[in-house]
Structure 1
Amino acid sequence: MAAVAPRIAALAEKALGAPLPVRVRAWDRSEAGPPGAPVLVLRNRRALRRVLWRPGELGLARAWVAGDIDVEGDLYGALDVLAGLIWETGEDSSGARSLLGLARDPDVRAAGAELLKLAGPSLPPPPPPEENRRRTGLRHTLSRDRKAIRHHYDVGNDFYELVLGPSMVYSCAYWQQDGTLEEAQRDKLDLICRKLALREDQRLLDVGGGWGSLVLHAAREYGVRAVAVTLSREQAVYGRKRVAEEGLTDRVEIRVQDYREVNDGPYDAISSVGMAEHVGDARYREYATDLYALLKPGGRLLNHQIARRPLADEEAYEVDEFIDAYVFPDGELAPVGRTVSMLEEAGFEVRDMESLREHYARTLRAWVANLEAAFPEAARLTSPGRARVWRLYMAASALSFERNRIGVNQVLAVKTPTAGTSTLPLRPRSWTES
């Protein structure tokens, strides 16, 4: 029988109508494709069936999570070239049938038929890996949001310690110089505190407080009284332990609570770091209005949020299937302009916006390096599939930030009193004045 990899490469190029940008190694150990390129390893026939039944990103992602495919060499380089192919060809829910019966070009149909023969029996299609998130109920209700958050965050604090490092901060770091990840995360926490102009005995609400790193920093360094809310029980247990170890139980409270359930305002300042992406477009105005109501007049909001590029036709926006199924269920991104508009419609005066896009790319590469350095332990702490999910989504996200496909922004807004005094200095860019 002829070697498998050359046949796959030739048929794939015919079906795609483009040269294959990666080298292929098949289950029979044969190879084909450009020398020196990253190697896409097909460990079994099931890998090919997954891609044929769901052409595009989701089929490749499912095969990756299941361990049916792997990449040897530069993972970032492989993802970069494969992403170009995926975006050009697009997703097609008709799966393998599009290669057989729906393609107009008879050569493409013939190539699809040959690939299906190589893949072996194709019915029924392979089921999704068990790490796929199955959801029920209406989007962005209290109960469904709790389940979505716990799917992502309640996978083990030991796993997150391995990936995030000692800071336990799961958001974009602030790289002022060639320092460590820990130093960059500390600088990010301090940047937020300075933008909020925190002072001793002020009340700070941290929405989506994670493992408590920001409220601990704010209480320790600025003397505030802080409340962090999270929907993750594991985060809350971990954060409360850190609070007790630092002797700050009289100043820091960590709650398992939805931001919509907070009713003990007003607060002097509110931080929301990496949480608004979970709110959903339909709920965003409610989110902004709720935070506005929880602030004192003159209080500041620091909203740190990932943003997508605006589209010519906003109706065309679709949530990334892999991210939605395996990483952040029900997460939605909005352009920064829409975020600013929603905050203003809720009553806020937006005073400053800072892009940290390149900072997040560097942060993600640091997390990927941590994960890769201890991958067997990461797989043991969660599951091999879950560890592969994190490696893929963080590496792909790093490229998306580097290529300006997505960004991340800190938006500083004020609940300006009717008298019009914003409480901000005339030149806030230094963030050294209060």
Structure 2
Amino acid sequence: MKGVRLPQRRVEALLAEADVRPGGERDWDLQVHDQRLYARLLARGSLGLGESYMDGWWDARALDELLVRLLRAGLERRVHGIGEIRDVLLARLANPQSPRRSREVARRHYDLGNDLYAAMLGRRMVYSCGYWRQAADLDAAQEAKLDLVCRKLGLRPGMRVLDIGCGWGEALEYAARRYGIEGVGVTISAEQAGHARRLCAGLPVEIRLQDYRELDEPFDAVFSIGMFEHVGVRNYREYFEVVRRCLVARADAGPGLFLLHSIGGNASVRRTDPWIARYIFPNSMLPSAAQVTAACEGLFVIEDWHNFGADYDRTLQAWRDNIEAAWARLDARYDERFRRMWRFYLAGAMATFRCRRSQLWQIVLSPHGVPGGYLATR
């Protein structure tokens, strides 16, 4: 009996450091439904935390606030499962974002179903952080973000623009209608490509099912919104080389600017959280500022670096509200275990941004430097 209770005592002591009490009355307190939880957490770390929530072994009324407290206490650095050790070794020995492996995230995440994303993302199917500076709701924040991208790049009629990782086509559709550009969007998701082609029908926009590494043609401007998180540190340099060879500077079209919109981390890593890697974004990782600058050194001048990561917490809360209101009308394939997985994913993402563990960067780069200097847009 003493051996059975030892894991519980150890976990309760760790949780106390985060001001979390099993069975407590506060919204962020852990409600344990299965006593096997304690041993599972010690054996499998963050992977066990997420999996046990999916299995219904525990709950918390304010899941995001519980995860905030665990992160602020740094408990994920105190408990490591065997799977995390394996992931570290694989990240060092292999290239998880090779052309063959990179398509796994499309199959397992972006191709889940357009109905799911349409219900969650709002009127514009934009799966990245909104810009809430003057916005009162999600749709306004997403439109403000798209307009911010266009203004930072100085888009104007007749420019040929590339979108690397074009998602469901919203950014190119917006740029073509509002700024009169011609565009090419590439994605490795068949579901996204099909939707984007329908959305952009009748516009001078081409949507391709294509890996970014295959690109080699001229564009006046390039942007990439929420795709760099899938590139991987082994491929950062090649990614920037691809952009560099595609950008041209023309007297009538500007200096050839590239805007990178990406989540970023505060420290350099070579892998992602094991639960995220297994259930949400396989083969993903968040870049650090050091990794970004090293990868683009000698290729680009960094003209502007804009961090509005705090806006992502608000964006995620809006997505959570949308999807929670929609579950009843969605397809039965999104069963209860899937719903719990999705709730844990959104709550965990909120927690990382609320703790400022994760950032949201918009970085503007030019091949040779903007003559006279770049005027930053906010």
What is the CA–CA distance in structure 2 between the aligned matches of 1:61 and 1:395, rounded to whole Å? Answer: 11
The counterpart of 1:330, out of the listed 275, 283, 286, is: 283
What is the CA–CA distance in structure 1 between the aligned matches of 2:110 and 2:16, rounded to whole Å? Answer: 40
- Match in the other structure for 1:371: 323
The 3-state SS of whatever aligns with 1:267 is coil
Query: Are the aligned partners of 1:324 and 1:331 in contact in 2 as well (CA < 8 Å)?
Result: yes
What is the CA–CA distance in structure 1 between the aligned matches of 2:227 and 2:26, rounded to whole Å? Answer: 41
What is the CA–CA distance in structure 1 between the aligned matches of 2:76 and 2:36, rounded to whole Å? Answer: 23
- Match in the other structure for 1:114: none
Deviation digits for residues 47-95 of structure 1, max 9, x if unmatched? Answer: 45533532x2111101112333322x22222212233362363214299
Partner amino acid, structure 2, of 1:11 = R
What is the CA–CA distance in structure 1 between the aligned matches of 2:119 and 2:141, rounded to whole Å? Answer: 17
Matched, 1:145 2:124: no
What is the CA–CA distance in structure 2 between the aligned matches of 1:318 and 1:94, rounded to whole Å? Answer: 12
What is the CA–CA distance in structure 1 between the aligned matches of 2:15 and 2:285, rounded to whole Å? Answer: 32
Query: Are the aligned partners of 1:371 and 1:378 in contact in 2 as well (CA < 8 Å)?
Result: no
- Match in the other structure for 1:172: 129
The counterpart of 1:340, out of the listed 273, 282, 293, is: 293
Stretch deviating more after TM superposition (204-213 or 326-335):
326-335
Displacement after TM superposition at 1:18 (Å): 4.2
- Match in the other structure for 2:82: 93
The counterpart of 2:365, out of the listed 413, 418, 423, is: 413
Q: Normalised by the size of structure 1, how large is the TM-score?
A: 0.76
- Match in the other structure for 2:88: none
Matched, 1:82 2:70: yes
Query: Are the aligned partners of 1:269 and 1:301 in contact in 2 as well (CA < 8 Å)?
Result: yes
Matched, 1:272 2:206: no
- Match in the other structure for 2:309: 357
Query: Are the aligned partners of 2:68 and 2:355 in contact in 1 as well (CA < 8 Å)?
Result: no
Deviation digits for residues 358-391 of structure 1, max 9, x if unmatched? Answer: 1112111111121222334457353333332222
- Match in the other structure for 2:375: 428
The 3-state SS of whatever aligns with 2:222 is strand
Query: Are the aligned partners of 2:233 and 2:291 in contact in 1 as well (CA < 8 Å)?
Result: no
Matched, 1:193 2:145: no
Alignment of 1:23-422 (within 5 A): 23-24=21-22, 32-33=23-24, 35-45=25-35, 47-48=37-38, 50-54=40-44, 56-71=45-60, 73-83=61-71, 84=73, 86-87=75-76, 89-93=78-82, 139-244=96-201, 247-248=202-203, 251-263=204-216, 265-297=217-249, 298-310=255-267, 318-345=271-298, 347-378=299-330, 380=332, 382-416=334-368, 422=370
Partner amino acid, structure 2, of 1:65 = M
The 3-state SS of whatever aligns with 1:322 is helix
**What are the ranges of 5 or more consecutive residues in structure 2 without an aligned counterpart?**
85-93, 250-254
Partner amino acid, structure 2, of 1:91 = H
Report how many residues are paired: 361
Partner amino acid, structure 1, of 2:248 = K
Query: Are the aligned partners of 1:23 and 1:37 in contact in 2 as well (CA < 8 Å)?
Result: no
What is the CA–CA distance in structure 1 between the aligned matches of 2:110 and 2:65, rounded to whole Å? Answer: 28
Stretch deviating more after TM superposition (361-370 or 43-52):
43-52
Displacement after TM superposition at 1:210 (Å): 0.2
The 3-state SS of whatever aligns with 1:408 is strand
Partner amino acid, structure 2, of 1:171 = S
What is the CA–CA distance in structure 1 between the aligned matches of 2:38 and 2:6, rounded to whole Å? Answer: 9
Displacement after TM superposition at 1:410 (Å): 0.5
Could you say if the C-alpha distance between residues 218 and 282 of structure 1 is closer, same or farther in structure 2, counting changes exceeding 3 Å? same
Could you say if the C-alpha distance between residues 13 and 415 of structure 1 is closer, same or farther in structure 2, counting changes exceeding 3 Å? closer
State the Cα RMSD in Å.
Answer: 2.8
Displacement after TM superposition at 1:159 (Å): 0.3
The 3-state SS of whatever aligns with 1:397 is helix
What is the CA–CA distance in structure 1 between the aligned matches of 2:220 and 2:198, rounded to whole Å? Answer: 25
What is the CA–CA distance in structure 2 between the aligned matches of 1:407 and 1:387, rounded to whole Å? Answer: 26
What is the CA–CA distance in structure 2 between the aligned matches of 1:36 and 1:380, rounded to whole Å? Answer: 33
Displacement after TM superposition at 1:426 (Å): 4.5
Bigger radius of gyration = 1
Could you say if the C-alpha distance between residues 239 and 46 of structure 1 is closer, same or farther in structure 2, counting changes exceeding 3 Å? farther
Deviation digits for residues 259-290 of structure 1, max 9, x if unmatched? Answer: 11123x10001001111111110110000001
The 3-state SS of whatever aligns with 1:382 is coil
- Match in the other structure for 1:123: none
Of structures 1 and 2, the one with the larger relative CO (CA 8 A, separation 6+) is 2
- Match in the other structure for 1:11: 9
Could you say if the C-alpha distance between residues 178 and 8 of structure 1 is closer, same or farther in structure 2, counting changes exceeding 3 Å? farther
Query: Are the aligned partners of 2:15 and 2:21 in contact in 1 as well (CA < 8 Å)?
Result: no
Query: Are the aligned partners of 2:43 and 2:81 in contact in 1 as well (CA < 8 Å)?
Result: no
Could you say if the C-alpha distance between residues 391 and 325 of structure 1 is closer, same or farther in structure 2, counting changes exceeding 3 Å? same
